[in-house]
Structure formats: structure tokens, C-alpha cells
A and B are shown apart, each in its own frame.
Chain A
Amino acid sequence: MLAGKKNAMEYLIPALFLFLLMAVIGLLLREPRQRTAARAGGAVNRAGRPAPALASHYTPVVIPRPVLTVAPPPRALWDERGWQRWRKDGTTLYVGEYRVHERKSRQVRRFPGYIRIRGHEIETYIASPPPAVRHHPKGPCFQYVDDPWFRLHWHRPPRNADEAILYVEQVLHEAINDTGPDR
């Protein structure tokens, strides 16, 4: 009996030794592949092969571009609307166009005009105002001067060209679009 057991042990110990040796060699062969894949930034599967990448392992670099911002400088209304200004001998002359948006035609109608300022006196002129102005409460205030010019007379005059332009455009708007508090 004892001799049989001794025989079995003689075979078992080398077998165990061989098994352990194979296991160590297997581990040593597997590790380098994992390290290579990890260094490349990719994930590895159980077999040590790179797993399918979800995203590129190259890190995208975004460089901010300088943004050019152009902000309009503060402008007077007459300047914003494209009127021109001349000064001579204490008189300031503004020349441009009154603009009115006609709702019916969805177009902007333009009427040439000029404004002359001498001291505190403001003269406001418009060329060929639309016929609809005749039916506006302020229509009679447009007095014919010389073809095609009409002068608007003031009850409470504007203090500057901007106020004159806005007021004339308001009357034209009310006349052309048939709106306004007095209609």
C-alpha cells in the first residue's frame, strides 16, 4: 500500500510543477499585449486584444479664433436715416428723405425733404406729399411753397432735425396707413 502511495506522489509532484510552469509562461505571454493596448489608450478585452474603440484615441484640439465684433457707434437719427448736413453762415441744412412703411403694399415710400435751422427757427419742407395727407387733421398745415415743395407749419415746433423728421414721418404714416389717434 505504502509503496503504491509513494509511486503516485512521484508522478504528482512533477505534474504539479509542470502545470505551474505552464501557467506562469501563459501569464508572461499575455501581459505585454495588455500593456501595449493600454499604452495606445484603448480598452482591451479579456483576450488582451484592443476592444472596439468608442471614440478616437486622438484628443481633438480646438483653438479659439479671435472674434471681430463691430458695434455701430451712437448716431443721430438724421444720420442713421441717411440725411446729409451742411452748415453755412449760422444756418444748418439737413437734406434727405422721409420714409414711411406702407402697410397695404408692404413697401417703404420715400419723400424728399429738407430742414433748415436758423437759431431757434426750424423750417421743414417736403416734396410732393401723398394725396392722403389732405384728409389728415394736420393736412392743412402743409402749405404749398414752390413746386414740388410744401412747408410744414408748427404749433409747437421741434427743437432739432431729429424731432422734425420723426414728426413728419408720423403724420405721413397716419395719413398713408389711415391710422392715428385723430382718425
Chain B
Amino acid sequence: MILDKTAARKLTDRVCKLATAKDVVVGLAGGRTANTRFANNEITSCGDVSNVRVSVAVAFGQKRGSTATNQLDDASLRAAVAEAEEMARLSPDDPEHMPPLPPQKIAEVKARDPKMAAGAAFDAAANQKGVEACLGPSLEKKLVAAGFFESADRFQAVANSAGAFAYHAATAASFSTTVRTADGTGSGWAEATSWKLGDVDAPAVARRAVEKSERSVQPRRLDPGRYTVVLEPEAVAGLVGMVRFGLRAREADEGRSYLSKPGGGNRVGEKLFSDKVTILSDPGDARIPGQPFDGEGLALKPTTWIEKGVVKELIYGRYWAQKQGREPTGAPANIIMLGGSATLQDMIKSTDKGILVTRFWYIRSVDPRTLLVTGITRDGTFWIEKGEVTHPVNNFRFNDSPASLFANAEALSAPVRTSSGLAVPAVKAHSFNMASISVAV
């Protein structure tokens, strides 16, 4: 269920008035999502779900408590507020509690597609027709398609007892498909995602996955080792996502992060990556608009975290920022890795010997001291020789650090929006550690 700005304000006012505590923060999150799932060339399940969640955080001095409910009747809201207040009264002081923020100047972000707001992508018959059209190429070529189409129309709001109020509405649409050959020796994946339904060209996504699937059949054996890699944006996104976790200031200052400095403090100001690497956040970015405020209602501003390989800024929550005498940044609204002028084709052309990676799977941290992570290549891994993609190769388990990858980066493309909600480029880098063979397809 979508609440517009006026209805959201009315609801947050209702909840604030129920509280006796001086400090009250009310959060709303809700909307409608619909999905159609398919596998083995047929639709298998679907969903159409509405929900609104109200969260309440209260404090008496430094004593605080919080609750949440998705029932909006008076009795349920009153009970939620009463429970939060009871917990706060029973709680010991929390020295990290921060009082509610004063009203913030929050830039409005355009992130709601009028067509989706009007109900497009929530029509079951239209969605079935769209999915069926994407199954066509697989059925014709006797390939096996699985995939997922999802649409969402959501809103978030935060209000507090100091008079602050923030509201944001956003739509999202995504279509992904994995196409496998009937003999199970080939697999290709592709996806498109945007806040605008019109940007999601599902038939084009299906064609890309079919092409990758057919090209990846009968991979040849390639030994583990260090290779030059050309990583498509989806593969890069998985690794950039791990860097994001390492940007928290408190962990760095406390000596338990990749960005902790031996002897104390953090590594802001140090050049840790190739000068090709710049990572920033900007809720107003048109490719990947983000919610312009955090869960406390703090305005999120454009922030450059890494600039030309130098760590420029870390993530500061309000408590840690105050303790360190700084302005809080809040958590990133989105992550954008700036790119270069190369195209994916340029990167392949400039590679004498290397591996083209479509995407990674099951990426997990191995050593937070070095940002070492492990994961698996999947759904299209190819050998490059003398500037051309020559044949498919087996998948690999890699063990490497995004820090090393970015230190070894040689070329970047323009960034694109990926499935994980990051905008990142394709990256060519040398010496990437493919640790062992995965025979999985």
C-alpha cells in the first residue's frame, strides 16, 4: 500500500502524538510489489503483496526503546508506542543515544516512474505475456530458461518530535534470466534493472542470455593461476559491494578494519588503489537514484569515498561523528564507481591472454584485514587470446581482494546500473587469483 506524502505525514503525526517521551522518531516503509517467476520454460510462481511498516523509537534521556508494527489501527499503534516507552523506561542509559535531528534540508529525488505509479507492471495478464515473449528464443532453440520479473512501488518516511519530516517514493523494475543448454554444458545470464519500467528491455535481456548460453557450451579446461581478467559490470559490482563494508569509520578507528592504520587511526588520505578508481554516492544520480535520507531522517549528501585511488571519506554515524568532532555522513544512499573511456570490446582487444568473466557468485569475506574475498565465476566465462574471445573455459573459485583488483586496474568502461543496486564499470585488471577449478556450469 502506497501512502502519499500527505497521508504519510498524517500517520507519523498520529504516532508522534501517542507518545509521552520527549524524543520520538517514527519511520514508515511500505508499498506494493509484484513478481512473476519462471523456470524450465514456464511460469512457476508469482506474487502481489502490499504492506506498510511503522517503526517507533523513543527515548527518556539516554534510555531508549524501539518497536515496529504493520497494523495501522489506533489500538495497534498505541500498543506499539506503549511498548517502546516501557522498554525505554526499563533500559539502562545508552551513552550512544543521539537526540532527534532538527528539520533537515533534503533534496527531492525523482525516482518514481509515473507509469508504474499508475499501475503498469502490476497487471498479471500483461506480465504473463511479457514473460512468454522472452521464453520464445529459448523454446525455439531448445534451450532451458529460468528467470524473474519484479516490480515495486514503494515509499519511505521519517518524522520526529523535533519537527523533522522526510518522504521519498521510488519505483523499481527488474528482469533477469538464466538460459541453460539442454545438455547442461552451457549457461548464460543477463539482467536489466531500473526505476523506470521503460528502461527494462526484457526481450533484449533474454537474447543476451541465449547468446551467452550458446557460446559457453563445452568449456575447455584452464588451470588455476593468476590471470589478466576483463570483468563485466555485474562481476565488478560484487567486489565493490565488499569495499563498501570496509568504509565504516568506527571499525577503522577501532583498529578492526582494512582501513585501520598500524599505530592507531585510519587510512584516510592514503592512496590505496589505482588512480583510475573513484567511488562516490549521490542520491540524486539519475541512473541509480537513492533515498536522500537515512533511518533517522539525516539528509544524505553527495559524498566521494575514494578519489583517484585515495581514500577521502569514511562512513560516520551520528554518535561516532560527534565523538570524532565531525559531520555525520550517514550510510551511503547508493554506490557509484566512476569509469573510464574504454568499452568492453576495447578491453578485450587490448588483451593478449586473459579471462572474460560475466559475473561472480557466492562472494564471501575471507580476511577482513586485507579485504580478501572468495567467490565463483558463473554463467559465461571465456578465454581471450590476441584480442579476441576464442572459447569458453571452466569456471573458477577466486581468492583475491578488491583492493588488489583496483590496485591492478588497467582500464575501465562507463558505469552501468547492476542488479545489486550499484552503478559500476567493467574493469580490466592483471594478476587476478583464480585459486581452483569449479566444474559447475
* Chains A and B come from one and the same complex: no
